[in-house]
Structure 1
Amino acid sequence: MNGREDKELADLLRASIAGDERSYAVFLDRTARLVRAYARRKILQGGVDPEDIVQETLLAIHLKRHTWLPDAAVLPWVYAIARFKLIDAFRRRGRHVEIEIAEIEETWAQPEAETVSDRDIGRVLDSLAPGQRSVVAAIAVEGCSIADTARKFGMKETAVRVALHRGLAAIARRFGRE
């Protein structure tokens, strides 16, 4: 804390309380810079925006400027208000820390992709009854819709759904995933 700076700010605040709007604008501008630097030093992990602290502090100073004692130093009063606004912001945030996904996505383990060869797919499909095999292959392998598969094989959509369900259930039973 600089004694000269404190005296200048105190003079500006006294003049502003007396009605000097220009002094008040200079006081708020200089105070905003000091509070911004203070908030940035205190906010280490994020989750609280320093500009929010600046705005809340300036608003509190404006509303409570009549409580400042003209004979007292102004900077301790300003920093006390900023400190309480910072504490309030941390309380509102709670214990939750917000982190951008882009900042940590490289550290996440990537799931291992299970690759299934055409031979494996053929072996699984060969274990099915012919009707189920054609329906499961059309929908699961070729990506056809239920309606397209029904038209392709001359079946009703309900029959396609039943064949698909039974075929997938048979595959699950065969590979122990019921």
Structure 2
Amino acid sequence: MNGRKERDHERELADLLRAALAGDERAYAAFLARVAGLVRAYVRGRISHGGVEPEDVVQEVLLAIHLKRHTWLPEAPVLPWVYAIARFKLIDAFRRRGRRAEIDVDDIAETIPQPEVETVSARDIGRALDGLAPGQRSVVAAISVEGQSVEEAARRLKMTETAVRVALHRGLAAIARRFGSD
């Protein structure tokens, strides 16, 4: 039963992402909402100590999924692709904070992707940031591009951490809306 549920869940997410890649904005919103829950559970299950904010990692994963959605192969399973991105973003978060991430290889063996040739260009990042309000642009760039923590970005931008989180969330949502019809 559990295996069947997983296959159905995989199929549903893959169908949503295929529709999103074909221009269906509602499918893209539904895909991101479902994936956010999965990624949130994945990240929280792997952070056993302070220093890394799970929600910051979730937002970084969602931005990476948005920017890299064109790299997913429609005939390939979507969950290993999503979890690979989540794993790399989680490791990046630990590295930024000087922590060592230890992940059991058996937990992630099926999520290890093929080597990726494409990268996000500065032009793609600039294009994603162009449509944002100046405050959102500064926050998204500081956290998602430059790799700062919410605390560091708040200090540098002279904002509260709450304001930074709100601006990040709204900025990422605006990017998702803007590019959802690509």
TM-score, with length taken from structure 2 = 0.51
Q: Which has the higher contact order (CA 8 A, sep 6+)?
A: 2
Instruction: State the distance in 2 between where 1:87 and 1:52 align.
Output: 13
Residues 39-83 of structure 1 deviation map (CA, whole Å, 9 limit, x = unaligned): 000000121111111100110010010000000000000000000
- Corresponding position of 1:81: 85
Instruction: State the distance in 1 between where 2:97 and 2:48 align.
Output: 14
- Corresponding position of 2:39: 35
- Corresponding position of 1:62: 66
Unaligned runs of 5+ in 1: 97-178
- Corresponding position of 1:12: 16
Residues 104-128 of structure 1 deviation map (CA, whole Å, 9 limit, x = unaligned): xxxxxxxxxxxxxxxxxxxxxxxxx
Unaligned runs of 5+ in 2: 101-182
Q: 2:51 aligns with which of 47, 62, 77?
A: 47
Instruction: State the distance in 2 between where 1:60 and 1:95 align.
Output: 22
Report sequence identity in percent: 74
Instruction: State the distance in 2 between where 1:11 and 1:95 align.
Output: 37
- Corresponding position of 1:135: none
**Partner amino acid for 1:32?**
A
Instruction: State the distance in 1 between where 2:84 and 2:99 align.
Output: 23
Q: 5 Å matches for 1:130-169?
A: none
- Corresponding position of 1:106: none
Give the 3-state SS of the residue equivalent to 1:45 in structure 2: coil
* Aligned alpha-carbon RMSD (Å): 1.3
> CA 1:87–1:95 in 2, change beyond 3 Å: closer, same or farther?
closer
TM-score, with length taken from structure 1 = 0.52
Give the 3-state SS of the residue equivalent to 1:52 in structure 2: helix
Q: By how many angstroms is 1:3 displaced? A: 1.1
Structure of higher CA gyration radius: 1
